[in-house]
Amino acid sequence: MIAPVAGFSKLSKNEKIAWLANTYFHDSEAVIAMLKNYWNSDEKLQKLHDEFIENTITNFYLPLGIAPNFLINDTMHAIPMTIEESSVVAAASKAAKFWLDRGGFKATVLSTEKVGQVHFMYYGAIEKLEAYFNSIKPELFIATKHITQNMEKRGGGISAIELRDKTDELNGYFQLHCTFETVDSMGANFINSCLEQFAKTFEAGAATFEAFSEEEREIQIVMSILSNYVPNCIVKAEVSCPIEELVESESVDANEFAEKFLRAIQIAKIEPYRAVTHNKGIMNGIDAVVLATGNDFRAIEAGIHAYAAKDGRYTSLTDAEVVDGIFKFWIEIPLSLGTVGGLTSLHPLVKLALEMLGKPNAKELMQIVAVAGLAQNFAAVRSLVTTGIQKGHMKMHLINILNQLEATEAEKAHFVNYFKDKTVTHSAVVTAFTAYKSQHA
């Protein structure tokens, strides 16, 4: 059994790596060499990366790709995408090119409200708690003035504070449900700082509220934390064109294609098993841009999937319709993003990605990210109802399989050409590669 390690965080990076390699690996020298191979030769840049998180031992690389030709609200964009999955960038680029010739994407931010809550327990008379909340509410705004003053100068701040009774779900459970505008920052630190101050002021004030009994004065603060569910921070992206422009070949019937496309969306609306995979494809595009721009893709994922189930059933995030011969495809999603603070001002590639996008504000970034998700979904559904998803995906995955087989550059070129008119599967590539190697041994 491996013994626990004491004081690990106090070890140097080299000491941490040595402990890891010697404790968990047989070839410790090879492990140490591999980890150090991913260090940046620029010591200053490496130190910056080391300090993003705790106990850093090396860098973990993901590809940064570009999807060009996105026309969004009549402005051209090349969208940065950080993702490890093959065919995602290609699919987004293909969808962008398709809609470029049909007016591009339109996007609108519908609302930007963010949420935080102070969760607390109270077991006294509800009317007394309501009276106390109404009396202390102005003090909550005053007590956070030192936190909110800079945000207010930028046009943000605290929007509202409500008392919510949740005792029908949990005995004694109440909330201070608070809403915020955080302008161009994601706002997590700002919101959490405000909430913690609310909790202190609210708890302290209860001790001197005359209407409370001794027991009622003991309000128990459970926690103060922002919510990643932001159903009132919504962006809409859409595309549309005459139905006859939906296809690029006369061999495909536009009406038949549109009908199949709409059926695919309807199935994702009613069938959760399909909806999850449908929405995962949307998140391929969204997460890739969120990650490239230094935002929190875990928070985005949690909030969007909760939104997909807001009506009590998990369903598709996209919609489609044909009205009077016009095909329309759109998405409405919650996105809490920032373009200032956090990694946006620290990570060199994040700064590069944001500059590439024209240094967008938070609303503009919301629009770009929503468009990336819509484009990804359009490409996926179009493939599903025509050629199938695997044909294009496995063509892109071919190089990954060849890399696993340690193919040379000449061998890669040979098999890319060999599989141009053949179905790519892992077993087919392995079989062909093995035969080729035996013939050229």
Structure tokens at 304: 């969007």
d(CA 192, CA 197) in angstroms, rounded, equals: 9
Backbone φ and ψ of 319, nearest 5°: -135, 155
Global pTM exceeds 0.85? yes
d(CA 325, CA 319) in angstroms, rounded, equals: 16
CA distances from 31 to 2, 12, 13, 24, 25 (A): 18, 17, 14, 10, 7
State the amino acid at position 210 in one-letter form: E
- Residues in a beta bridge with 221: 120
b/e 323-357 (16+ beta carbons within 10 angstroms → b): eeeebebbbbbbbbbbbebbbbeebeebbebbeeb
Is residue 299 left, alpha or beta, with left meaning phi > 0 and alpha meaning psi from -120 to 50?
Answer: alpha
CA distances from 103 to 4, 96, 99, 230, 240 (A): 61, 11, 6, 30, 8
d(CA 372, CA 84) in angstroms, rounded, equals: 16
Q: One fold for both 70-108+236-386 and 114-227?
A: no
CA distances from 249 to 29, 245, 246, 377, 380 (A): 57, 10, 9, 21, 18
Fold (CATH) for 70-108+236-386 = 3.90.770
Minimal CA–CA distance to 340: which of 187, 148, 232?
A: 187
Query: What does the pLDDT read at residue 200?
Result: 98
Query: What does the pLDDT read at residue 393?
Result: 56
Taking residue 93's Cβ as centre, other Cβ atoms within 10 Å add up to 21
d(CA 97, CA 69) in angstroms, rounded, equals: 6
Per-residue pLDDT of the chain (441 residues; tens, 9 = 90+): 899 999 999 999 999 999 999 999 999 999 999 999 999 999 999 999 999 999 999 999 999 999 999 999 999 999 999 999 989 999 999 999 999 999 999 999 999 999 999 999 999 999 999 999 999 999 999 999 999 999 999 999 999 999 999 999 999 999 999 999 999 999 999 999 999 999 999 999 999 999 999 999 999 999 999 999 999 999 999 999 999 999 987 778 999 999 999 999 999 999 999 999 999 999 999 999 999 999 999 999 999 999 999 999 999 999 999 999 999 999 999 999 999 988 888 999 999 999 999 999 999 999 999 999 999 999 999 999 987 655 555 666 787 788 888 888 888 888 888 887 777 788 888 888 888 788 877
Structure tokens at 193: 């700082």
Q: How buried is 428 (Cβ within 10 angstroms: 0-12 exposed, 13-18 middle, 19+ buried)?
A: middle
Count the helices and strands in the chain (H runs, E runs): 15, 10
d(CA 302, CA 309) in angstroms, rounded, equals: 11
- Quote the DSSP letter at residue 3: P
Query: What does the pLDDT read at residue 392?
Result: 56
- Residues in a beta bridge with 235: 109, 333
d(CA 186, CA 343) in angstroms, rounded, equals: 11
Residue found by looking up tokens 């700082």 in the block:
193
HEC secondary structure over 64-120 = EEEEEEEEECCEEEEEEEECCCCCHHHHHHHHHHHHHCCCCEEEEECCCCEEEEEEE
What's the CATH architecture for 114-227?
2-Layer Sandwich (3.30)
State the amino acid at position 268 in one-letter form: A
Query: What does the pLDDT read at residue 407?
Result: 85
Q: Which residues are catalytic?
A: 85, 280, 296, 393
State the amino acid at position 318 in one-letter form: T
**What are the residue ranges spanned by the domains of the chain?**
8-50, 70-108+236-386, 114-227, 393-439
